[in-house]
């Protein structure tokens, strides 16, 4: 087998060929216009744009569309590519949603490891006062990269969950637009490469990229802006696909209120992604234009009379947070959906208050659009706005509370068992509770004026993201692992992973909050010994390494169990959900016959009830 028969290899070649061509085109254009040949901003931006195109052409993510423009016919191919081993389909364009789901999930997991490793680098620096091995410039780059790489990882992880599970859960053959689905995944790969390449030049503003700082730094910013723009484009296309699939392709009898609850979470998430992502794309594009073309959107410029004829820095903050706060709900709603999905299975009870849980996701999504200004309490906007955003932010507590109480109602009176996915679900609840309850203290503006930009916020944010995404994501991986691979993971190693990671995380976030109340600012390369936080900072670092070590155990478990794990069977968890009624691993065409819904999804304990019926032979 030739190496270039792998789509990914062709894509990478295309990327670097495109990069060179793009840079050459810009240099040539500049020379023709009589300008100086080398201008890093313009030349690199041109290179990146061509590199992205080069990757997509190289891998063939647009081949079918190009064939269509010529009037050609492109039947959907099923199964692994002809004459090649089955694994190769994961390294090229494939239209099966299960393959794309795995591609999303694995890429997300890899980026999560990269982003987490960046954190370990600067956590090591912070273990003691004084600058020991990481110079402040490098420190700022690692810190900033940690933010965006981890957030891109989360978006991809969510794409993995949604792509793999939603069509299976609603009994659909595939997503509504399989080619768009593959395209939306593959643009993430060159975007991730571009984001990582930004480290060659560095950038130092943190993930928020507030101007004017982000207009001044090195050209690494341009790599980051364009990479995030593309990741955002993927969010928009992916969520469009999911919404159409969910609304148009459900089987007979599956009303919206009879969907598995995870689908509701994904529906709410996709609505946010489809409508809010444009704002950050636009904001980052404006930064890119301001840097490379000198368009004054954000940086103030003064005329001779001292009047500002330029831009307004706060405009960026509004645009940025109008996406980036709802984005936090994009990060956590799918995870909360996983919690709601798994609890009934391991409690052997119906989900308590299904409709309330379903609608609370939509409520969180809607209120989430009204709270962006709580990131700007100290920004210098009109003081009365603090009151408006304080009240809207506190309102988020109401639908979030409904979820917590409904989870407790689900556990109450059940027959609980505690395999690894259930442990991670319970761990997620405990961690998300820490994150959630430390929210209102930041919502009331007075306390936020003190806590803003301190480690208290760092602790709060990581607790919501770990509780709302990382723990549920791991729960989901362990839970659906037998469905994906056909084999069980190792339960002992799974429990070891849980019992290292969970206390490690509690320690980490509480210690971060402590240093915040003691006056430790965010995003600083070194801190004053007079603050008296060295010991606590050391604890945070140790806890970070414990979490990292536990994740290595998980990776080992997942790899070895795929070979030697016990054969799982169709439905090891005795779940009622459709995907567990078909063979593991799921065959190429998931459902041999169309399914129909004949009952409620979570009627555990109701004698004689079933959720779905498979059409038998001959009764179509």
Partner 1 sequence: MLKLPQTSTDRRHFIIVGVLTLVTTVVLGFFMLAILPIKAQKSVQAEPIAWLFQVHIWLIAFLFSLVVVFMLYSLVVFRRRKNDDSEGEHFEGNTALEIIWTVVPLVLVVIFSFIGIQTLNGATSGGDEVQVKATGFQWSWKFDYPNGVTSAEMVLPVGKPALISLESQDVIHSFWVAEWGPKQDLVPGMTTTLHITPDTEGEFKLRCAELCGLSHWSMLATVRVVPEAEYTAWMDQKLAEQNVQTASR
Give, as ranges, the residues between 449 and 478 that touch partner 1 (CB under 8 A). 449-450, 452-454
Binding status of residue 433 toward partner 1 by CB under 8 A: yes
Length of the chain: 620
Tokens, residue 107: 């890429």
Binding status of residue 72 toward partner 1 by CB under 8 A: no
**Among 222, 299, 502, 584, which residue interacts with partner 1 (rule: CB under 8 A)?**
299
Shortest Cβ 433–partner 1 spacing (Å):
6
Binding mask 552-571 for partner 1 (x = CB under 8 A): --------------------
Rg of the chain's alpha carbons, rounded to an integer? 25
Among all chains, which residue has been given the structure tokens 């290179």? 47
Shortest Cβ 62–partner 1 spacing (Å):
39
| Part in contact with partner 1 (CB under 8 A); list of ranges 103-111, 166-174, 263-271, 384-392 | 384-392
**Among 52, 236, 513, 612, which residue interacts with partner 1 (rule: CB under 8 A)?**
513
Would you list the DSSP string of 251-277?
Answer: PBT--GGGS-HHHHHHHHHHHHHHHHH
Span 320-359, contacts to partner 1 by CB under 8 A: 347-356
**Among 444, 485, 534, 571, which residue interacts with partner 1 (rule: CB under 8 A)?**
444
**Among 256, 387, 555, 566, which residue interacts with partner 1 (rule: CB under 8 A)?**
387
Binding status of residue 308 toward partner 1 by CB under 8 A: yes
d(CA 45, CA 22) in angstroms, rounded, equals 8
d(CA 613, CA 437) in angstroms, rounded, equals 42
Instruction: Classify 612 as helix, strand or coil.
Output: strand
Would you list the DSSP string of 292-339?
Answer: HH---SSS--B-TTS-B-S--HHHHHHHHHHHHHHHHHHHHHHHHHHH
Binding status of residue 213 toward partner 1 by CB under 8 A: yes
Tokens, residue 89: 């389909």
Q: How many CB atoms lie within 10 A of CB 406?
A: 18
Buried b (16+ CB within 10 A) or exposed e, 340-378: bbbbbbbbebbbbbbebbbbbbbbbbebbebbbbbbbbe
| Cβ nearer to partner 1, comparing 39 with 444 | 444
Shortest Cβ 483–partner 1 spacing (Å):
22
Tokens, residue 302: 């003064």
**How far are the Cα atoms of 23, 182, 228 from residue 40, in angstroms, in the given order?**
10, 33, 20
| Cβ nearer to partner 1, comparing 331 with 354 | 354
Binding status of residue 527 toward partner 1 by CB under 8 A: yes
| Part in contact with partner 1 (CB under 8 A); list of ranges 53-61, 257-265, 446-454, 550-558 | 446-454
| Part in contact with partner 1 (CB under 8 A); list of ranges 71-79, 113-121, 414-422, 490-498 | 414-422
C-alpha torsion sign, points 163, 169, 174, 177? negative
Q: Which positions ≥6 away from 568 have C-beta within 8 Å? A: 482, 483, 485, 486, 487, 488, 584
Binding status of residue 397 toward partner 1 by CB under 8 A: yes
**Among 40, 72, 136, 587, which residue interacts with partner 1 (rule: CB under 8 A)?**
136
**Among 105, 313, 334, 467, which residue interacts with partner 1 (rule: CB under 8 A)?**
313
| Part in contact with partner 1 (CB under 8 A); list of ranges 106-114, 221-229, 499-507, 510-518 | 510-518
Binding status of residue 178 toward partner 1 by CB under 8 A: no
**How far are the Cα atoms of 130, 570, 572, 587, 610 from residue 581, in angstroms, in the given order?**
58, 6, 10, 12, 11
Q: Determine the size of the site formed for partner 1 (CB under 8 A).
A: 96
Binding status of residue 575 toward partner 1 by CB under 8 A: no
Binding status of residue 411 toward partner 1 by CB under 8 A: yes
| Part in contact with partner 1 (CB under 8 A); list of ranges 145-153, 161-169, 585-593, 604-612 | 604-612
Binding status of residue 314 toward partner 1 by CB under 8 A: yes
Would you list the DSSP string of 537-591?
Answer: HHHHHHHHHHHHHHHHHHHHHHHHHHHHSPB--S-TT---SGGGGS-SSPPSSS-
| Cβ nearer to partner 1, comparing 447 with 596 | 447
Binding status of residue 416 toward partner 1 by CB under 8 A: yes
| Cβ nearer to partner 1, comparing 140 with 188 | 140
| Cβ nearer to partner 1, comparing 249 with 370 | 370
Asked whether the bond before 103 is cis by omega within 30 degrees of 0, the reply is: no
Contact 107, 156 (CB under 8 A): yes
Residue 301, φ and ψ in degrees, nearest 5? -130, 140
Binding mask 221-250 for partner 1 (x = CB under 8 A): ------------------------------
Buried b (16+ CB within 10 A) or exposed e, 477-499: bbbbbbbbbbbbbbeebbebbbe
**Among 149, 272, 390, 477, which residue interacts with partner 1 (rule: CB under 8 A)?**
390
d(CA 503, CA 599) in angstroms, rounded, equals 40
| Part in contact with partner 1 (CB under 8 A); list of ranges 73-81, 233-241, 328-336, 517-525 | 517-525
| Cβ nearer to partner 1, comparing 333 with 429 | 429
**Among 34, 383, 608, 616, which residue interacts with partner 1 (rule: CB under 8 A)?**
383
């Amino acid at each position: 087998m030739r190496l270039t028969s792998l789509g990914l290899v062709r894509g990478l070649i295309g990327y670097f060929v495109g990069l060179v061509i793009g840079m050459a085109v810009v240099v040539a254009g500049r020379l023709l216009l009589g300008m100086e040949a080398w201008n890093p901003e313009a030349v690199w931006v041109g290179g990146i744009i061509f590199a992205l195109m080069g990757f997509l052409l190289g891998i063939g993510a647009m081949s079918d569309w190009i064939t269509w423009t010529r009037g050609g016919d492109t039947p959907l191919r099923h199964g692994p590519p002809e004459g090649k081993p089955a694994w190769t389909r994961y390294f090229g364009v494939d239209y099966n949603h299960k393959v794309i789901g795995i591609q999303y999930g694995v890429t997300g997991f890899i980026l999560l490891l990269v982003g987490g490793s960046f954190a370990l680098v600067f956590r090591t620096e912070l273990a003691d006062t004084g600058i020991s091995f990481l110079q402040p410039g490098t420190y700022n780059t690692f810190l900033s990269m940690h933010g965006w790489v981890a957030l891109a990882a989360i978006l991809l992880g969510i794409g993995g969950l949604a792509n793999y599970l939603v069509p299976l859960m609603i009994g659909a053959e595939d997503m509504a637009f399989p080619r768009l689905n593959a395209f939306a995944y593959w643009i993430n790969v060159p975007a991730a490469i571009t984001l990582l390449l930004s480290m060659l030049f560095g950038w130092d503003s943190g993930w928020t990229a507030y101007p004017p700082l982000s207009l001044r730094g090195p050209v690494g910013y341009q790599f980051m802006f364009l990479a995030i723009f593309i990741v955002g484009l993927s969010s928009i296309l992916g969520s469009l696909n999911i919404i159409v699939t969910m609304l148009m392709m459900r089987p007979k009898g599956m009303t919206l209120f009879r969907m598995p609850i995870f689908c509701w979470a994904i529906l709410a998430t996709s609505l946010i992604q489809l409508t809010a992502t444009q704002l950050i794309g636009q904001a980052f594009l404006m930064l890119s234009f301001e840097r490379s073309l000198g368009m004054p959107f954000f940086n103030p410029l003064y005329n001779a009379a001292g009047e500002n004829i330029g831009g307004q820095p706060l405009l960026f903050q509004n645009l940025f947070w109008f996406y980036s706060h709802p984005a936090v709900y994009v990060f956590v709603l799918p995870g909360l959906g996983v919690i709601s999905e798994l609890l009934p299975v391991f409690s052997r009870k119906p989900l308590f208050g299904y409709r309330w849980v379903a609608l609370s996701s939509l409520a969180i999504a809607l209120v989430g659009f009204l709270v962006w200004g709580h990131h700007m309490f100290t920004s210098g906007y009109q003081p009365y706005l603090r009151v408006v955003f304080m009240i809207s932010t506190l309102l988020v507590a109401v639908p979030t509370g409904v979820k917590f109480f409904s989870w407790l109602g689900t556990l109450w009176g059940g027959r609980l068992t505690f395999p690894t996915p259930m442990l991670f679900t319970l761990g997620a609840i405990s961690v998300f509770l820490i994150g959630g309850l430390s929210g209102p203290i930041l919502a009331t503006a007075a306390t936020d004026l003190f806590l803003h930009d301190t480690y208290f916020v760092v602790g709060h944010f990581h607790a919501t993201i770990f509780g709302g995404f990382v723990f549920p994501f791991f729960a989901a991986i362990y839970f659906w692992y037998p469905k994906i691979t056909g084999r069980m993971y190792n339960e002992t190693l799974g429990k070891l992973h849980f019992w290292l990671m969970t206390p490690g995380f509690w320690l980490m976030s509480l210690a971060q909050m402590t240093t915040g109340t003691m006056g430790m600012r965010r995003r600083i390369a070194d801190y004053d010994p007079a603050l008296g936080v060295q010991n606590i900072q050391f604890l945070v670092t140790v806890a970070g390494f414990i979490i990292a070590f536990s994740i290595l155990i998980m990776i080992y478990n997942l790899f070895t169990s795929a070979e030697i794990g016990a054969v799982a069977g169709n439905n090891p968890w005795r779940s009622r959900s459709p995907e567990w009624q078909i063979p593991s691993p799921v065959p190429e065409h998931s459902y041999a016959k169309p399914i129909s819904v004949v009952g409620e999804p979570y009627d555990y304990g109701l004698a004689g009830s079933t959720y779905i019926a498979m059409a038998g032979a001959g009764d179509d």
